[in-house]
Amino acid sequence: MSSEQAMNVVGLISGTSVDAMEAVACRINGSGEHLEFWLLSHVTLPFTKRFAQRVISATTIDELCKLNFELGELFAQAALAAMGMAGLNPSDVDVIGSHGQTMAHQAGATLQISEASVIAERTGVPVVSDFRTRDVAAGGQGAPLVPYADWVLFRRPGRVRALQNIGGIANVSVVSDKLEDTLAFDTGPGNMLIDALVRRATHGKKAYDRDGRMAMAGKPIPGLLRALGQHPFFKRKPPRSAGREQFGDALADSLWRRYQKKPNDLIATATAFTIEATAQAYERWVLPKYELDGIYLSGGGSRNPVLRHGLASRLAPLRVATVDNLGFPEGAKEAACFAILAAEFINGRAQNIPQATGAKRAVVMGKLTPA
């Protein structure tokens, strides 16, 4: 399958933070280093707190089955909303790229749900989904997924840029002129642990630490911060990936049992943990090899001033800014990446980066559900 003609594409994602769906409509022309991208629309559709909690706590086959179809319905709504905002009819759209909702991610196995057949049926548009599994089948970790798209969107001649996403898990793509020189890996925790502790501290009334207010009201607990830094994940060299299994509810429950009388201090510690884990990843694996022109943030964590300013302070004098400073709306970035991955699936071009995921070879990721 190959078609390097201009395409209208919709990209969909729901992250590990389980707070909202992001959808973009875009125009894509060409492939690889010649790919041209125009953003036409971007919409955010939040999950209800009740639905988000169902996703976070799902453990039975029955609940996973139901959520798979319910998420398909919600993703279809998001896709149609992005089309409408862009002034497109479904008949104008060539393909939808859906990352889905990650439910489990570990060595040799991964699971994303959001039934592609439902999305295709409700929209009348072909859907490319389930991107991670082919990389895993090829011996990779199925993550990080976006370095190829980061290279397409943000590389500039003669420059080396770090694209740092702080979603539920934090990951970096270091991009330069050549795709084969790209370095990408999960740096460690992002918002996931912070969000889980906020839910416990507020009895579910808040899903995240808006503007870092709870972290600012507390002080990191030094001994706990040091202990968190000893997590086995940090002993692993890239390529590496992480998920809920390392930094999700199990860890949050353990911390909450011990420190629930100091909720703001605990959230301040989790925030400092993300900052320190990210900074140390740069110091060990990035800065010894690359002279960066800047670190450009995206994901929900980029909107948390404690995280943003903490990283800037920790990594000074490096420039730390959001991708908005590169002329791209931060909130649209991840969904745009999956639009690019879907377009390149149609073009028959491999979109994984083996040195980032550990795969044995470059492969075309995704599965096609016809309209």
Burial class for 150, CB neighbours closer than 10 Å (0-12, 13-18, 19+): buried
What pLDDT score does 1 carry?
A: 47
The answer to whether residue 335 scores a pLDDT higher than 60 is: yes
**Alpha helices, DSSP H only, in the chain?**
49-57, 61-86, 116-123, 132-137, 147-154, 192-201, 213-216, 222-228, 244-247, 249-259, 263-281, 305-314, 333-347, 354-357
Looking at per-residue pLDDT, the higher value among 3 and 335 belongs to 335
Set out the domains of the chain in order of their start, with CATH numbers: 7-146+331-369 (3.30.420.40), 155-326 (3.30.420.40)
Q: Specify the 3-state DSSP secondary structure of 353.
A: coil
Q: What is the pLDDT of residues 276-302, one digit of tens each?
A: 999 999 999 999 999 999 999 999 999
Cross-strand bridge partners of residue 177: none
**Residues 14-32, mean pLDDT to the nearest whole number:** 89
What pLDDT score does 16 carry?
A: 60
pTM: 0.94
What pLDDT score does 18 carry?
A: 77
Q: What is the pLDDT of residues 339-357, one digit of tens each?
A: 999 999 999 999 999 999 9
The answer to whether residue 3 scores a pLDDT higher than 60 is: no
What pLDDT score does 366 carry?
A: 98
Distances (CA, A) of 351 to 16, 28, 202: 21, 15, 41
Query: How many whole angstroms separate alpha carbon 183 and alpha carbon 176?
Result: 9
Give how far the C-alpha of residue 340 lies from the chain's centroid of Cα atoms, to the nearest Å: 14
Cross-strand bridge partners of residue 111: 104
